[in-house]
Amino acid sequence: MKQGARVVLAAVVAVSAAGGGYWMGTRKGGEHGASAMPVQSAAAPAAESKPRKLLFYRNPMGLPDTSPTPKKDPMGMDYIAVYEGEQDDEPAAANQIRISTDKVQKLGVRTETAKLRSLDRVVRAAGRIEPDERRTYAITPKFEGYVERLHVNATGQPVGKGQPLFEVYSPELVSAQREYAIAAQGVDSLKDVGGEAQRGMRQLADSSLMRLKNWDISEEQLKALAKSGETKRTLTYRSPVAGIVIEKKALQGMRFMPGEALYQVADLSAVWVVADVFEQDIGLVKPGAKATVRINAYPDKAFTGAITYVYPTLNAETRTVPVRVEVANPSQLLKPGMFAQVELPVAAKGSVVTIPISAVIDSGTRRIVLIQAGEGRFEPREVKLGARSDTYVEVIEGVKDGEPVVVTANFLIDAESNLKAAVGGFGHASHGGGAAAAQAAPAAAVGSESREGAKPASADHRGEGKLDAIDLKAGTVTITHGPVATLKWPGMTMDFTLANSGLIGNLKPGASIEFTFVERKPGEWVIVKLAGTGAARPAAHAAH
């Protein structure tokens, strides 16, 4: 009986434990069901999501070279995987530079549209004030003598026309006056006597008068001498023009010799402004054009004049050509020796296609402009430039009206060496092969996402053909090859340089070959890999 009761009790406990477990499980489920459900729902989309579709592998340096399988470029860099949705809507052309939109914004790239403008401009040049050479006079006695008296005794003193400057004494002058006075009196005394004596006396009088005239004796003095017959001890020299004494060598009591300039007088009512125009601007300067002259001493005044002469010589040291501008100077504010800033307006030849000067990248041998071909894509173009204004330049060839050009491209200037590599092969004379190279270096300089700071590698190209000739001494081979797609070359026969002579191996002329080559410098094509068709390819040899 006791044993039966024990069995019943054990059964009751078991049922209770099972019920309690069920109740506890239900309670726990109620407490944590909210978090359990989201886990299940989050797992469902993960199970339903599809993996991204791999399209191809692209060249890490931005070259137009793709591969369906992973590979490395000649520099050992891994090609970058491109998945569906990561492609641009419009692929960049082979000669374009591709930069990510984020980098374009970070670099501050700004564009401006090429437009038709009238390039009115002003040629500016430094100049100096000089006296008008046609208004400058030197007072020079033609005989030996002494300065007896000075009437004008200071440089810079203004004088009027005919004003006495100085008096001179000369024994020769006194003798010539006496000779003329005697001859004149002889002519008067023999006027009633005809014949040879009268003619001889008149010839003597005429020769004496001519001698005095040659010595610059004035007509007034000669008439007084002929009338009175009295010789004067001194002769007065007068100013031939109204002006300023710009040079005075005469000293009272000094002895002078024939031909010695004692005074220089200049008429400064009009002066010359001689401007030094740079060589590249001289073709724009035409005689007769108006010019504006500004002087530091008078910043609020502008003097106008006309270009009267363009000198035929060039200063080899400054590469400038003197240009003469005549300016009226009635108030004599312009003084010889002053420096001047000269503005020479140049009329435009009409509306021309123009771009900002800042858009031009001048390498010294070529001028390049970057055209925005699309979002994050830029096309370098070689341009031919014409006239310039202060801010714009005419484009004769290379850019059309309405095309957007990059006006702030500091990232390319910073990578100047890479830019030179890009434009160096722009238009290979025979093959046009520089397009790929033109893209490579700028893209490496600014668009390499995988290895920033890495040096750009030369683009490699592949071809197939026949080995025609081998010149191991010169290190060259002649190959007749088929079309090269990466350079857009047609099939042709041409010479290549071998990176090293070991590339030849056992190959003989006439063998069918496959080869890989690069452009080491513009026009020099170097083979870095060479193998016979169908044969085991030798290990790659680096060109450098």
Q: What is the pLDDT of residues 232-262, one digit of tens each?
A: 788 888 998 899 999 999 999 999 999 899 9
Q: What is the pLDDT of residues 50-79, one digit of tens each?
A: 677 788 887 766 566 788 889 887 767 778
- Cα 247–Cα 251–Cα 255 angle in degrees, nearest 5: 115
CA dihedral (278, 284, 285, 290) in degrees, to 10, reads -120
Structure tokens, 214: 């040659």
pLDDT at 298 over 80: yes
Decide if 270-346 and 460-532 have a common fold: no
pLDDT, residue 451, reads 36
Share of the chain above pLDDT 70, in %: 74
**Topology of the domain comprising 270-346:** Elongation Factor Tu (Ef-tu); domain 3 (2.40.30)
With respect to CATH, is domain 97-119+351-446 assigned 2.40.420.20?
yes
Superfamily of domain 460-532: Copper binding periplasmic protein CusF (2.40.50.320)
Q: In the chain, what are the domain boundaries?
A: 97-119+351-446, 141-260, 270-346, 460-532
b (16+ CB within 10 A) / e for 48-85: eeeeeeeeebbbbbbbbbeeeeeeebbbebebeeeeee
How far is residue 121 from each of residues 3, 303, 326, 344, 391, measured CA to CA in Å?
125, 19, 21, 9, 9
Query: What average pLDDT does range 93-118 have in this prediction?
Result: 76
> What average pLDDT does range 375-403 have in this prediction?
85
Calculate ∠ Cα 540-543-544, nearest 5°.
125
Contacts of residue 429, defined as CB under 8 A and 6 or more positions apart, other chains included, come to 523
User: Could you tell me the pTM of the whole model?
Assistant: 0.48
Q: CA dihedral in degrees (443, 445, 451, 455; nearest 10)? A: 110
pLDDT in tens, 125-145: 999 999 999 999 999 998 899
